[in-house]
Structure 1
């Protein structure tokens, strides 16, 4: 039986949040928590900076008070993360479009951080109910509904780590702008850029010897093709020819990706 909180249609970052929680082994507790979440027992969820507070209706007349938080990153840690994000334009484009880049975790991992909880000790939660277990079903219900919030707005996950959507977007803009201004300032005003002639027949040719120790051939980290990473081509889906063109391009990109990996992994 497919659970309502574990479906392929759910955005990957929301499902990743749920998968992390369920990997901690709280099977029975979370089963009861899913029931609470589905039946609307979570009356409200509010954000106070990086902390979540909620009221959950249990068996008692008055709802229980739940609080939840993750360890926020320091200013220096966020500076490193923002700088890494700014170096890849696709991250800025996807985040501005309200999407979580598929490889966003790599940015945090490269800086020694984990965007999602690494273990149960990364999640700090309390409930006013008499159940001594943590998480109780009330806390668990809030966990699951947070996954729904992540689906609606992926920046909520960043907020739990100490940065709001507005802060991240503004920091990205400033970092990218500063990088562009620096590169222009370093170039003399009188410099005249020479015209460049693109030689298509030698576009993929590189005559210099590469250092063997710097080359590592590995399969791609995800199944996304370049076409999927760049986003949907603005064609009208109601025109059959356009849909056929998109299907053809997807097949071509998948075939090219597979052949590229096979060629790269061939040692002969």
Structure 2
């Protein structure tokens, strides 16, 4: 057998202490629909085998550091060489104009706004982006830019795959990381949604928002609205209880020699007296 035809065995990675380990020990790593969506998109690119090797790296804690910022994820991954490899995953952030359209669309839907304000990702949020001609998740490899300092010429390598799995877990913990990757941080987005829905402090916030979700005003959701008090005019006497009869057209009815209206007056006055009696303190 020709020895030169034999390939050397793959070098094992240097084990490290204190690395970032995936919480999942077996099976799928992504738990929520939005993180699974991210992994499904990656797997649809024909990256299955390398993702599996990357999954083992992620579970073994080979990723030393992972940071996510606008457009860019950077990870330091310990491989078989002493120097850790730097893996980068970049995606195009939405522009300021695009984010303004997105925020208005989200704020215009009470359910979307309520779920986001509660820290949840609405299940059909992708539809909002689709209707605006935008994609929340990448749909082709051209939308992602990946590179790694390792000698493997294949993209993605196992180091990039490990970073992808840990990014998916970060999406599980905080769905706003997906939006931050696209250019809008959690607090900035929530402040914009509150402002657009009229929930900021100031005169605008004093008027009730009919579309406000239950989560924003649970204490008043089951309360009947208070009847507005009739405005009092200074210097005037209270209206007589039978004054309404004087506003009506004369009834063409008489009982004996008395018009029907005059026979109704005592009844109106008596009912008004009963109401005042009921309101007296015990």
Q: Is the 8 A contact 1:30 1:140 kept in 2?
A: yes
Whole-Å separation in 2 of the counterparts to 1:84 and 1:33: 37
Q: Any residues of structure 2 matched to 1:103-142 within 5 Å, and which?
A: 103-142=124-163
1:173 equivalent to 2:173? Answer: no
For 1:157, the equivalent position in structure 2 comes to 178
- TM score, norm. by length of structure 2: 0.60
Q: Is the 8 A contact 1:5 1:34 kept in 2?
A: no
Return 5+ residue gaps in structure 1 as ranges: 185-229, 235-268
Q: Any residues of structure 2 matched to 1:108-257 within 5 Å, and which?
A: 108-177=129-198
Q: CA deviation at 1:3?
A: 5.5
For 1:31, the equivalent position in structure 2 comes to 52
Return 5+ residue gaps in structure 2 as ranges: 1-24, 208-213, 219-282
1:71 equivalent to 2:79? Answer: no
Whole-Å separation in 2 of the counterparts to 1:151 and 1:36: 19
SS of the residue 1:69 aligns to: strand
Whole-Å separation in 2 of the counterparts to 1:68 and 1:158: 15
Q: Any residues of structure 2 matched to 1:90-105 within 5 Å, and which?
A: 90-105=111-126
Q: CA deviation at 1:120?
A: 1.2
Q: CA deviation at 1:47?
A: 2.6
RMSD of Structure 2 on Structure 1 (CA): 2.5
SS of the residue 1:177 aligns to: coil
- TM score, norm. by length of structure 1: 0.63
When the two structures are aligned, how many residues end up with a matched partner?
183
SS of the residue 1:37 aligns to: helix
For 1:62, the equivalent position in structure 2 comes to 83
Whole-Å separation in 2 of the counterparts to 1:53 and 1:163: 18
More helix by proportion, 1 or 2? 1
Change (3 A) 1:53 1:77: same
Q: CA deviation at 1:48?
A: 3.6
Whole-Å separation in 2 of the counterparts to 1:47 and 1:14: 15
Asked which structure has the greater CA Rg, the reply is 2
Whole-Å separation in 2 of the counterparts to 1:100 and 1:49: 19
User: Out of 49, 52, 57, which is 2:73 matched to?
Assistant: 52
Cα deviation 1:49-102 (Å, max 9, x = unaligned) = 332111001111111011112111111111111000001111111112211101
Whole-Å separation in 2 of the counterparts to 1:100 and 1:85: 11
Cα deviation 1:186-238 (Å, max 9, x = unaligned) = xxxxxxxxxxxxxxxxxxxxxxxxxxxxxxxxxxxxxxxxxxxx89xx9xxxx
